[in-house]
Structure 1
Amino acid sequence: MASIAKFTGTKNKDGKYTVTLIEGDGIGIEISKSVKDIYAAAEVPIKWEPVDVTPQLVNGKTTLPQEAVDSVFKNKVALKGPLATPIGKGHVSMNLTLRRTFNLFANVRPCKSIVGYKTPYDNVDTVLIRENTEGEYSGIEHTIVPGVVQSIKLITKPASERVIKYAFEYARHVNKPKILVVHKASIMKLSDGLFVNTAKEVAKDYPDVSLDFELIDNTCLKLTTDPTQYSDVVMVMPNLYGDIMSDLSSGLIGGLGLTPSGNMGNNVSIFEAVHGSAPDIAGMNLANPTALLLSSVMMLRHMSLDFYADKIEKAILQTIASGPENRTKDLRGQAGTDEFTKKIIANLE
């Protein structure tokens, strides 16, 4: 993979890699078990190191338990189930805390139509890379006078350069010939303008990848009219646009329950299911583990374990395509989490 955010972990003496596992809340326990069972059956050379990330407030700041932080830094890679942020206790979003703690600067969200699960859109194959550390999510807000609040959107050249370079490297790696910078520099001439100009500079180092620009509102319109226009493109954009557009892209293929996600940093990377923890169905054998499984497939590719990634991905897609009797209820099926997992294991070749 790219020299930026490259996996630098090493095998243990037994020939296996250790991966930090954040099982998460609610259905996280069940879908993590599904991943563990499938990995055991596929004989993936991975040992899981489960950690607890229940947040702690230290000097008024949301922080992660040191043991969990040490584990991720040691193993260089983690797989994460859905986390619920405690409400009304002064905690910052857990996902935001993870990004800040490990400086996960790029979120990668590929969305590909799943055969056998029909949506109004066919042949979707999009990739979106979102700057993950600044923009409107910098948290710089204050009240000027009662009833007037100012929120500052922070865009810096180093952060823009880093995520745009990663997008170019990623495009090369997945053989997509174009980078599309999605922005609103027509209005935010300085902030988005900096992002756009940085992309023009970075592009000089990648003459084999073409560069284009599009206004965010236009991209939304075109993407929901005909997403196949974006099949040969890697989109890259500032934080807030990426947050919205990545969910929009997920909607085209059937929702967050089918969408993998990776958060990339220079030292560590965390792959995650981006859907909620669904406490209302926790423990009821109804959860769909597909998003976490496909995120784990992304993780395997990041670790250059492509043989196992291909094997597991093929089994997942085959199971979904095989009919409603093998799919979970959210995929218009009749199977429970356990049955779905067993069917994937049976389809491993």
Structure 2
Amino acid sequence: KSCHVILKGPTTTPQKGDGRPNIESANVAMRKELDLFANIRPIKVPDQGINWTIFRENTEGAYAVGSQGINITEELAVDFTVTTYQGTERIAELAYDFARKNGFKKVSLVTKANVIKTTDGNFLEVCHKVAKKYPDIITDEWYADIMAAKLIDEKRRRDFQVILLPNLYGDIISDEAAEFQGGVGTAGAANIGREYAMFEAIHGSAVRMIEEGRGDYADPSSILRAAAMLLSHIGYQEKADRLTKALDICSFEEKRLVVTGRSNGATCREFGEYVMEVIKRDEVPSGAGTALK
């Protein structure tokens, strides 16, 4: 807490039965302790017309009590989903405000309110109340399963701009969305609160890659994009734009080196040096990009 802005490296949370300690996710714990209520994940693939910014509620929902579910009997286990008015209102206000400030015209709400009528229904209701303050922004609704399907619909997915979801759906949908950009190794995330902010890669620490001897081939793009978001957050927008543009050139335009996660692609170091080479070019602009405000 002595540092209000953090760039955090990937961590891995053990799952039940894998032989590791059954501890709570470090990410979930930090998000709750620092009240980092907004998880923001931009996804961009220019040649496919994709420019999405995903706003995931970050402290409530199905992750609210973490590992503290109850085994009532050997045959019955119960976990909990929590939605509050305040928690939903503040993530919705942030999403709509971001859309307005950055020229986006649509916010898509994603729930399963047709089945999970209480918590998801409340989330949807509060979001619509916030939406009334932004009459210039179009609001539409999607069920989480249909959104997952429509992201792979080449015609429909171009329509999505800002996507607003409860915690669990946001986690799943944003990882799916990252695949269009090149996988979870290519997408960064911001965790924003009133007092603190934490920026991170959206993936874990890639235990399997280490176990298979492929650690040198990890993609650094995710943490670099997180760093660009951090720069934007603390007011260095031109530097953020320059880093983002360099990553776009390396990943979408020139593609001189490609990270595959295996020995048939570039290493983490090689790709990082490629980005640093590009960022020094005079022609790399530092104009007004999407501001993380």
User: What TM-score, normalized to structure 2?
Assistant: 0.84
- From 23, 39, 58, the equivalent of 1:91 is 23
Corresponding position: 1:154 with 2:154:
no
Q: 1: distance between equivalents of 2:144 and 2:274?
A: 41
RMSD: 2.3
Quickly say closer, same or farther: Cα 1:248–1:323, change in 2 above 3 A. closer
Cα distance per residue 1:259-301 (max 9 Å; x no partner): 1111111111111012221344479642321111111111111
Corresponding position: 1:127 with 2:53:
yes
The answer as to whether partners of 1:108 and 1:130 remain within 8 angstroms in 2 is: yes
Letter in 2 for 1:256: V
Cα distance per residue 1:153-177 (max 9 Å; x no partner): 1111110111111111111122111
Quickly say closer, same or farther: Cα 1:238–1:106, change in 2 above 3 A. same
Secondary structure, counterpart of 1:202 in structure 2: helix
1:144 deviates by 3.3
The answer as to whether partners of 1:125 and 1:231 remain within 8 angstroms in 2 is: no
The answer as to whether partners of 2:217 and 2:262 remain within 8 angstroms in 1 is: no
Q: 2: distance between equivalents of 1:337 and 1:206?
A: 43
Indicate the residue corresponding to 1:12 in structure 2: none
1:204 deviates by 2.0
Letter in 2 for 1:107: N
Q: 2: distance between equivalents of 1:185 and 1:216?
A: 9
Higher relative contact order (CA 8 A, sep 6+): 1
Corresponding position: 1:167 with 2:95:
yes
Q: Quick one: percent identity of the two aligned structures? A: 31
Shifted more, 315-324 versus 202-211: the winner is 315-324
Indicate the residue corresponding to 1:239 in structure 2: 167
Secondary structure, counterpart of 1:276 in structure 2: coil
Indicate the residue corresponding to 1:111 in structure 2: 43
Map 1:169-188 onto structure 2 (within 5 A). 169-188=97-116
Indicate the residue corresponding to 1:216 in structure 2: 144
Quickly say closer, same or farther: Cα 1:147–1:181, change in 2 above 3 A. same
1:333 deviates by 6.2
Letter in 1 for 2:30: L
User: What TM-score, normalized to structure 1?
Assistant: 0.71
Q: How many residues align?
A: 270
Q: Which has the higher strand share?
A: 1
The answer as to whether partners of 1:131 and 1:242 remain within 8 angstroms in 2 is: yes
- From 245, 250, 263, the equivalent of 2:191 is 263
Indicate the residue corresponding to 1:136 in structure 2: 62
Give the unaligned 5+ runs of structure 2: 282-293
Quickly say closer, same or farther: Cα 1:229–1:85, change in 2 above 3 A. closer
Corresponding position: 1:250 with 2:178:
yes
Cα distance per residue 1:235-266 (max 9 Å; x no partner): 11111111111111112222101111111111
The answer as to whether partners of 2:69 and 2:78 remain within 8 angstroms in 1 is: yes
